[in-house]
Amino acid sequence: MKTLLFVLLGIAFVGSSAFLPNFPRSLLDDEDSIQIVQDFFTGAWSVVGLTPPPNLAASCLDENTAQGLVNAANQTLQYLVNDNILKALQTATSFYQSISPEIKACVNTNSSTVAFYTALGIADLTIPQMSKRIITYTMANLAEVRQEITTTNDDFQAGKYVQVGADTGNFMKDVFQGGEALLGASEDLNNFLNILEQLIEVAFI
């Protein structure tokens, strides 16, 4: 679950204005939600040359959780496009906390997911560590990340869910395979990031 959710969580620190609802028709149809999540997986896995099991989403997620993920992703992207960072973070955090431990374990321990995490270099990273890396990368590449948010949102609203997964996978690849960002960052910035890491760790227990 961390592959999709925590890209959105990390870039939530990029940018504040009101949420503008703009749900594609398919987002309102519960029976499509599991396929949408499967499309996310397909796109993300393709970035590292892998293919997820065709039933990964269906075997781990119930319809309510799948619909919740789709809506949380959509809402988070909408908040980010409008620079409403706090709401984006709250949405991502609230959804993550609502997922049952069984569902998290089902997705995260699947051999295909483990291979995906390993290919990206995130298999041994905790959620706070990932979030810190994402935030650091974002701060060093602000203009590019803003454009990526806009592109990903456009793909989402157009129903291009495989491409949304690929957008997410490419962002993760840039963050975790592109070397350390902000080399020589100031002591104040490093202190801020360390505090932020601790806050995220508390939020996602």
Domain boundaries, the chain: 2-125+141-179
Q: Which residue has the tokens 């590449």?
A: 141
Query: Assign residue 54 a region: left if phi > 0, alpha if psi is -120 to 50, beta otherwise?
Result: alpha
To the nearest whole percent, how much of the chain has pLDDT over 90?
A: 24
| Angle made by CA atoms 139, 141, 147, in degrees to the nearest 5 | 115
The whole-angstrom separation of Cα 48 and Cα 96 is 25
Summarize pLDDT for 164-193 with one digit per residue, the tens: 999 988 988 888 887 554 444 455 555 555
Cα→Cα distances 18→25, 53, 78, Å: 21, 38, 9
Say whether pLDDT at 204 is over 70: no
